[in-house]
């Protein structure tokens, strides 16, 4: 128990309370006698009671609110309930329900959690950070709320994302919840509905831009680095204009990564590993099309490119097999509106000149003229993978790999059941949001969800255990490879491309070990043997059991 905490202070400390599980001896020792009902419950009994209460609520947002209140009341019990029912809890704690929770953040707000780092407090950032609830922090997740899932600018409501992400760091990666810190950078909002909403809890101001924004981010990073020099800082749901520049600016200064860019890339590559092996064609022999050339889409393509090169292609050969499409069409080298990272994947304009098009090549044109084997969507363009497009791909390849990855469900490029129907069940499918199982020939098949939760909790466990100082690209690729090796489809092609959620906490240990070994190989972690790293992972991993 925390030193000197007794009575109400202990009973209402969410990290240390046991509620009705305090024994009679503990109630006397800690000044709790008379503060609790007489009955003594076990953690398992408490969890069963909470599960019953959870099931009584039918609306997902009501279930989310219940779980958040439980987390605020008793963290150990909260994680025990999640652990016992992980498949049921994932879509409630995180996507897709967390999207609505962000939209309604001010309306459903009950108790503070984490830090609200507001631009008006820019001259007091050190004071703000020193007001954090816990002194020692292993992982921070931070957002500025500008691009929440596919829902756009949610302002301070974006805080729901760091809270949800860190819940998964603990549930899957075993990061001690007492050593996590969610942060929202309140730099205003351009969402007029929020600015006019009397319930909105954020700074009522248009978003700061330009030098003001970048100076604020700089000061935030400087303060975090000074106060918590060994913390893992994860960037989450920043707009495309900021996400990649921020990652590039700071990735060599501190232990940091962007989950939308690197985590999405790693989990997608992990699913592609399994899909390519089932299809019998490695990525280096595939033509890959990405619909969506924002920071997430480009991040995936960069990792796909590195994988192709590792399989024997030269860098130019790999680039020639990658086709990226944005809202204006195919990225080509004659376009003047491309960012430097987009230009890496610009096809020579001459390559499509003979297609006889009156304008820029669109997705349908590429599918018609190229033998596409892999189609990935990170565009938030609902329904963009149309029946003619999917059927065209299926006509050219025996096992098309089709990943409509946009979140939330309403923004997916296609419904997996449609893709399955249009390809006569031959498509290898993964989605971004959870979908129900497919039914074909009387058999039910689970659809893999390319949820970053397969990657980032294991990354947190790895860098914490290995005491890494940086997150390298090769560490991310090691995570993807370890995830791909765990694909159920490798032993049964009718199984999903990614493991069941009930298996993920166990699989996270294997991914964390692979990442930790790579961190040592990359020279960003102290030298330890694989056996020593395994021991470190077991040592730092937190489990939802009452202490002391």
Residues marked active site are found at 94, 165
What is residue 386's three-state secondary structure? Answer: coil
| Rounded Cα distance, 209 and 196, in Å | 21
Q: Which residues, other chains included, contact 329 with Cβ-Cβ below 8 Å and sequence gap of 6+? A: 359, 360, 361, 362
Region class of 46: left (phi > 0), else alpha (psi between -120 and 50), else beta: alpha
Asked if residue 375 lies in contact with residue 400, where contact means CB atoms within 8 angstroms, the answer is yes
CA angle 126, 541, 110 (to 5 degrees): 50
Binding residues for a divalent metal cation: 236-237, 260
What backbone phi and psi angles, to 5 degrees, belong to 401? -105, 115
Bridge partners of 116? Answer: 184
Whether residue 51 contacts residue 81, with contact meaning beta carbons closer than 8 Å, is answered with: yes
Smallest CA-to-CA distance from 79 within 468, 505, 465, 448 is with 505
Q: Which residue has the tokens 């997996």?
A: 416
Distance (Å, whole) CA 308 – CA 318: 6
SS3 406: coil
Distances (CA, A) of 186 to 103, 202, 295: 15, 7, 22
> Residue 252 in contact with residue 470, Cβ under 8 Å?
yes
Sequence-separated (6 or more) residues with CB below 8 Å from residue 445: 437, 438, 439, 494, 495, 496
Q: How many CA atoms lie within 13 A of 251 on its CB side?
A: 15
Binding residues: 147, 236-237, 260, 407, 451
What's the rounded Cα separation, in Å, for the pair 548 and 28?
Answer: 14
Q: Please give the annotated binding residues for (S)-malate, written as ranges.
A: 147, 407, 451
Bridge partners (DSSP) of residue 374 are 288, 401
> Is 116 in a helix, a strand, or coil?
strand
Gap between the Cα atoms of 414 and 402, Å rounded? 9
Q: What are the backbone dihedrals phi and psi of residue 367, each rounded to the nearest 5 degrees, phi first?
A: -60, -35
- CA dist list (Å): 97 to 161, 327, 364, 430: 11, 27, 32, 19
Handedness of CA 73, 75, 76, 80 (dihedral sign): positive
Q: Report which of 54, 47, 99 is spatially closest to residue 76, judged by C-alpha positions.
A: 47
- How many other C-beta atoms are found inside a 10 Å radius of the C-beta of residue 407? 25
């Amino acid at each position: 128990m925390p030193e000197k905490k007794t009575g109400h202070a202990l009973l209402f400390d969410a990290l240390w309370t046991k509620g009705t599980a305090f024994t009679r001896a503990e109630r006397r020792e800690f000044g709790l006698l008379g503060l609790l009902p007489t009955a003594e419950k076990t953690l398992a009994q408490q969890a069963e009671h909470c599960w019953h209460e959870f099931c009584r609520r039918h609306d997902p947002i009501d279930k989310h609110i219940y779980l958040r209140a439980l987390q605020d009341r008793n963290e150990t019990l909260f994680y025990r309930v999640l652990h016992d029912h992980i498949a049921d809890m994932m879509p409630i704690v995180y996507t897709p329900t967390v999207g609505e929770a962000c939209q309604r953040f001010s309306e459903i707000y009950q108790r503070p959690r984490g830090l609200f780092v507001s631009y008006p407090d820019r001259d007091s950032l050190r004071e703000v950070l020193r007001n954090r609830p816990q002194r020692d922090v292993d992982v921070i997740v931070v957002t500025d709320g500008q691009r929440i899932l596919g829902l756009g600018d949610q302002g301070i409501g974006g805080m729901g994302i760091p809270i949800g992400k860190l819940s998964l760091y603990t549930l899957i990666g075993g990061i001690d919840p007492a050593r996590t810190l969610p942060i929202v950078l309140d730099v205003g909002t351009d969402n007029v509905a929020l600015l006019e909403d009397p319930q909105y809890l954020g700074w009522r101001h248009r978003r700061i831009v330009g030098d003001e924004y970048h100076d604020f981010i700089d000061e935030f990073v400087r303060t975090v680095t000074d106060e918590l020099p060994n913390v893992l800082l994860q960037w989450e749901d920043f707009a495309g204009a900021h996400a990649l520049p921020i990652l590039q600016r700071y990735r060599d200064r501190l232990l940091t990564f962007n989950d939308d860019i690197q985590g999405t890339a790693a989990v997608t590559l992990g699913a592609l590993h399994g899909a390519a092996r089932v299809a019998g064609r490695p990525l280096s022999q595939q033509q890959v099309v990405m619909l969506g050339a924002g920071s997430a889409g480009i991040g995936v393509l960069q990792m796909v490119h590195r994988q192709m090169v590792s399989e024997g292609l030269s860098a130019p050969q790999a680039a020639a097999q990658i086709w990226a499409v944005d809202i204006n069409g195919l990225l080509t080298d004659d376009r003047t509106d491309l960012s430097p990272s987009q230009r890496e994947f610009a096809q020579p304009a001459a390559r499509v000149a003979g297609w006889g098009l009156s304008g820029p090549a669109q997705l349908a044109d590429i599918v018609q003229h190229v033998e596409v084997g892999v189609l990935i969507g990170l565009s938030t363009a609902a329904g963009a993978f149309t029946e003619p497009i999917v059927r065209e791909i299926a006509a050219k390849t025996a096992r098309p790999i089709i990943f409509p990855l946009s979140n939330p469900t309403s923004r997916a490029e296609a419904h997996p059941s449609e893709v399955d129907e249009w390809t006569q069940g031959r498509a290898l499918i993964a989605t971004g949001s959870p979908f129900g199982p497919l039914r074909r020939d009387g058999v039910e098949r689970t659809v893999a969800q390319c949820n970053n939760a397969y990657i980032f909790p294991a990354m947190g466990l790895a860098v914490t255990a290995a005491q890494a100082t940086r997150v390298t690209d090769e560490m991310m690729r090691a995570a993807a490879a370890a995830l791909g090796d765990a694909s159920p489809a490798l032993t049964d092609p009718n199984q999903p491309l990614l493991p069941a959620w009930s298996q993920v906490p166990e699989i996270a240990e294997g991914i964390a070990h692979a990442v930790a070994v790579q961190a040592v190989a990359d020279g960003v972690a102290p030298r330890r043997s694989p056996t020593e790293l395994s021991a470190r992972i077991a040592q730092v991993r937190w489990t939802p059991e009452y202490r002391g």
